[in-house]
Structure 1
């Protein structure tokens, strides 16, 4: 999400919200509202200031499902629009693939009969095959599910571990 990307840029540059705001010509309070999601869509002018000051591609900063993307794309010719949408699609694909790979899955892209297929494997066994577009469209749900499972598993482990420690001390 834009708010998370903005916060990461600011923190990676070791800036407070106030300092970051000064760099791009807005207040620290405005940056705080963006980071908390109170203000969701800054103007393209602000986006381009952030991109120029911190050497970031606008495609990497703008979320693929945001109003900002529509505003950004409206000013482009057809070739540029195709480039932006391809870049966003590949960014989303890579984010999803990285999360799955970090959790022990292997992701293969296969072209077959004019279709782009994604094969998901675990321990050299095919778990699923789907169209690449379905992988990206449903990927956010998959990633959320994996993250919830991992958080649950870690929290469950810690709770069990802590309870064992308490019972041994009695």
Structure 2
């Protein structure tokens, strides 16, 4: 359920309910009701606000059979530096594909 995934992400990030509420700009009581599955159908706007705090997407929060993907601050900094240094999406994708190929050869 969506509430369980949000709570798991919050705890993984070492965040209190109050801190998540403040960062997302959503009432603490509303997030609490989502986490306790009392509110099982939160709006997409609320999910997007919560997802942004965890550097993920609302879509990732909604996926039933997959753990939500959270990007930690170090990954965000690496990505930001790559973008600022002029690395294109295509170059980044090529690097990933090359790395997968290289790992498959070993």
Q: Give the length in aligned residue pairs.
A: 67
Partner of 2:72: none
Q: Is the 8 A contact 2:2 2:62 kept in 1?
A: yes
Q: Distance in 1 between matches of 2:30 and 2:53?
A: 17
Residue 14 (structure 1) shift: 1.0
**Residue deviations 1:88-139, cap 9 Å, x none?**
xxxx3x78xxxxxxxxxxxxxxxxxxxxxxxxxxxxxxxxxxxxxxxxxxxx
Q: Deviation string for 1:120-169 (max 9, x for gaps)?
A: xxxxxxxxxxxxxxxxxxxxxxxxxxxxxxxxxxxxxxxxxxxxxxxxxx
**1:3–1:35 CA contact under 8 A, matched in 2:** yes
Structure 1 stretches of 4+ with a deviation exceeding 3 A read: none
Unaligned runs of 5+ in 2: 68-106
Partner of 1:48: 48
Displacement after TM superposition at 1:10 (Å): 0.8
Runs of 5+ consecutive residues of structure 1 not aligned to the other structure = 65-91, 96-170
Normalized per residue, which structure has more strand? 1
1:18, 1:24 → 2: CA distance?
10
Q: Is the 1:23–1:53 contact (alpha carbons within 8 Å) kept by the matching residues of 2?
A: yes
The answer as to whether partners of 2:47 and 2:58 remain within 8 angstroms in 1 is yes
Rg: which structure is higher?
1
Q: Which has the higher contact order (CA 8 A, sep 6+)?
A: 2
**1: CA distance, partners of 2:39 / 2:33:** 5
* Aligned twin of 1:31: 31
Alignment check: 8 A CA contact 2:2 2:61 kept: yes
TM-score, normalised by the number of residues in structure 2: 0.55
Find the counterpart in structure 1 of residue 19 from structure 2: 19
